């Protein structure tokens, strides 16, 4: 969040009445606003606070008695020229200096390097990366959009039948995380139990492995990663944590020296084995629904809303988080 630094805003109105407060000038849509409180001194109590000019974003309100500005914004945009006024018991007033309050769809959208909603008409093979990177996706086999199975939101998702269906994205520096944080997440619905339910893979043969991420034959998240391309380590979630024909929000994340796997917002496992080491920079294609080294058997089911955020651990919590229930912001 961005705060005005330095001294409090404050202007003296009639008499000795003065108002003070430090506005928080940015926040995120559908996320509770950090808020701030305006206070008054002088004049004749009690005081009443009001928005004298401009308009607070939808979902954010000013408590007329306490001066607390709080709430959860529901609309992206910038509210400009907001002036909060205090009025004392004899009608004297004092105004806080004007400020702007911006509501972002995603505070980290500039860090998003891949964003695939898999939205479109039934049977379509047009796949789009909606991140600022705008990567091209190549479609193989019978991979297609499907409206026959209701996704967690929207009307379509990516259908893969497990026999040669997958997508690829050319290798890019966007997918080289180095020692930095990252968040990789999607919604998955497996249709059959299999060790080949690969969701996202950035790995070639031995010596060129960054990570593989799948649901295994125990219906659990199973992540293999490497810091040197050859030696691998595992992160394995709870057995049965990804039940068949059930949509789940899944997440693979790094925060500092810790790697985590989440299912439905619950942290299922973590590891600090990676320490200060970089995740290996594989030169393989980024494969969605398949291993790039074996393109016969892959993910069987549906995928939705794949997002890769580079440089940010969005959730960063051993105690978990509230799993998303809507499409990720596009800006």
Between CA 111 and CA 167 the distance in angstroms is: 22
Looking at the predicted structure, is the pLDDT value of residue 2 above 50?
Answer: no
Burial class (CB in 10 A: 0-12, 13-18, 19+), 296: exposed
- Segment 133-153 mean pLDDT: 97
Beta strands in 65-147 (DSSP E): 68-71, 77-87, 93-95, 99-104, 112-116, 137-140, 144-146
pLDDT of residue 30: 85
What value does the mean pLDDT of the chain take?
94
Please determine, for residue 293, whether its predicted confidence score (pLDDT) is greater than 80: yes
Pairing mode, if any, of strands 233-236 and 221-225?
antiparallel
Give dist(CA 180, CA 133) in Å, integer: 19
> What is residue 300's three-state secondary structure?
strand
Residue-wise pLDDT tens digits, 68-85: 999 999 999 999 999 999
pLDDT band at 9 (very low <50, low <70, confident <90, very high): very low
What CATH class does 109-310 carry? mainly beta
Higher pLDDT, 31 or 280: 280
Give CATH for domain 9-104: 2.60.40.10
pTM for the model stands at: 0.80
For the chain, which residues make up each domain, given as ranges? 9-104, 109-310
Could you give the percent of the chain with pLDDT greater than 90? Answer: 91
pLDDT for residue 114 is more than 90: yes
Structure tokens at 115: 């964003």
């Amino acid at each position: 969040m961005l705060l005005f630094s330095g001294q409090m805003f404050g202007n003296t109105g009639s008499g000795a009445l003065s108002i003070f407060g430090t506005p928080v000038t940015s926040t995120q849509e559908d996320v509770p606003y950090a808020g701030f409180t305006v206070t008054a001194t002088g004049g004749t109590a009690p005081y009443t606070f009001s928005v004298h000019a401009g308009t607070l974003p939808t979902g954010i309100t000013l408590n007329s008695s306490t001066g607390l500005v709080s709430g959860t914004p529901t609309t992206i945009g910038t509210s400009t020229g907001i002036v909060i006024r205090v009025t004392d018991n004899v009608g004297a007033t004092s105004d806080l200096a004007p400020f702007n309050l911006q509501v972002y769809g995603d505070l980290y959208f500039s860090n998003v390097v891949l964003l695939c909603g898999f939205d479109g008409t039934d049977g379509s093979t047009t796949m789009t990366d909606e991140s600022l990177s705008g990567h091209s996706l190549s479609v193989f086999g019978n991979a297609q959009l499907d409206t026959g199975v209701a996704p967690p939101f929207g009307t379509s998702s990516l259908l893969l039948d497990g026999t040669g269906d997958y997508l690829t994205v050319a290798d890019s520096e966007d997918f080289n995380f180095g020692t930095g944080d990252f968040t990789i997440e999607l919604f998955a619905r497996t249709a059959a139990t299999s060790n080949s339910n690969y969701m996202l893979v950035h790995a070639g043969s031995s010596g060129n492995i960054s990570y593989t991420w799948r649901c295994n034959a125990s219906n659990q998240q199973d992540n293999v990663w490497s810091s040197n391309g050859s030696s691998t380590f595992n992160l394995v979630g709870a057995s049965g944590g990804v039940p068949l024909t059930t949509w789940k929000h899944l997440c693979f994340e790094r925060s500092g020296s810790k790697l985590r796997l989440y299912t439905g917002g619950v942290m299922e496992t973590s590891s600090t084995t990676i320490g200060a080491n970089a995740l290996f920079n594989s030169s393989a294609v980024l494969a969605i629904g398949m291993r790039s080294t074996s393109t016969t058997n892959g993910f069987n089911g549906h995928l939705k809303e794949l997002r890769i955020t580079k440089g940010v651990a969005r959730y960063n919590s051993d105690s978990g988080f509230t799993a998303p229930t809507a499409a990720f912001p596009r800006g």
